[in-house]
Amino acid sequence: MNIYYHSLYTYGIDENSTFPRERYELIRNSLETEFNKKLINFIEPNKANIEDIYLAHDKDYVDRFISSNLTNKEIRKIGLKPWTNNIIDRTLFIAGGSLNALEDIYRGENVACNLAGGTHHAHKDMGSGFCIFNDLAICAKKAILDYNFKKVLIIDLDVHQGDGTASILRDQDNIYTFSMHCEKNFPFIKEKSDFDVALKKYMTDDDYLKILIESLNLLDSIESDIIFFQAGVDTLISDRYGKLNLSAECLEERNNCVFEFSKKRKNPLLIFMGGGYSSPIDHTVNSFKDLFVQASHYYF
């Protein structure tokens, strides 16, 4: 299984930022065991082509970001401050990693991953919530336009609603958006996905898994030939921004539910990392490590 990773995922963020930049490098290092080396290939991504970014974003917004001409208000809304000189390259490598993983699936892989991405708060004409370009929306448009996929199903299980994804892909008949998230959490003004499930604060494992299974059963009627999985682990009880009370074991079972759902449909699976802000950071790292190890066994 290919996982796309670039050192700028970590070092393109300033060390003084409140964002836990070290998680990317720690996750990669945690997967560097002799056993995992037989299952996982780490590949450095290409930068995304600007024309692909335009598939999901206004040209004016993209061009102003690339030329370092966003307003201070726009930068504050995104976060990740203070910005480094590498923020543009980092952003293009993240989108590129997801696009490279999509191309792997087009060429016949059952599963491919980006060790970043899932930037679901970026809207058509603005960034938000640590997200600059929406790689889920970019890849969904690319899958339909260039890779002959007929229907993309996006399963977003980050604790925060995929508001940017919903807004960009609204009224796209061949792309279906599903977001299951904490109701009383960022973003405080929600968008309308094709299917939203808003969870009560402090929900625990059994209730969460029951609702997830019910929701996946409802998705049985939605056709797809590729599935995108936004697999944020900010649903953990230890997460600073999550407001759900889920265990690491619950997240492993969550992943299994998505993998079994995808396998039943014989759909390839593109995995985006999403959020994770646990304190201590080990909880975030371990749950993402579990995700990628589980994914490395995915086949249909």
Instruction: Give the C-alpha separation, 279 to 23, whole Å.
Output: 11
Instruction: Give the C-alpha separation, 246 to 115, whole Å.
Output: 22
pLDDT for position 37? 83
Q: Are 58 and 124 in contact (CB under 8 A)?
A: yes
Domains and CATH numbers, the chain: 2-295 (3.40.800.20)
pLDDT for position 282? 98
pTM (two decimals): 0.97
Phi and psi angles of residue 73, each rounded to the nearest 5 degrees, phi first = -65, -45
Question: Can you read off the two tokens belonging to residue 134?
Answer: 């929406």
Instruction: Give the C-alpha separation, 154 to 136, whole Å.
Output: 8
Phi and psi angles of residue 128, each rounded to the nearest 5 degrees, phi first = -170, 150
Q: Are 175 and 138 in contact (CB under 8 A)?
A: no
Residuewise pLDDT in 10s, the chain (300 residues) = 999 999 999 999 999 999 999 999 999 999 998 778 889 999 999 999 999 999 999 999 999 999 999 999 999 999 999 999 999 999 999 999 999 999 999 999 999 999 999 999 999 999 999 999 999 999 999 999 999 999 999 999 999 999 999 999 999 999 999 999 999 999 999 999 999 999 999 999 999 999 999 999 999 999 999 999 999 999 999 999 999 999 999 999 999 999 999 999 999 999 999 999 999 999 999 999 999 999 999 998
How far, rounded to the nearest angstrom, does the alpha carbon of residue 284 sit from its chain's CA centroid? 14
Question: How many Cβ atoms sit within 10 Å of the Cβ of residue 150?
Answer: 11
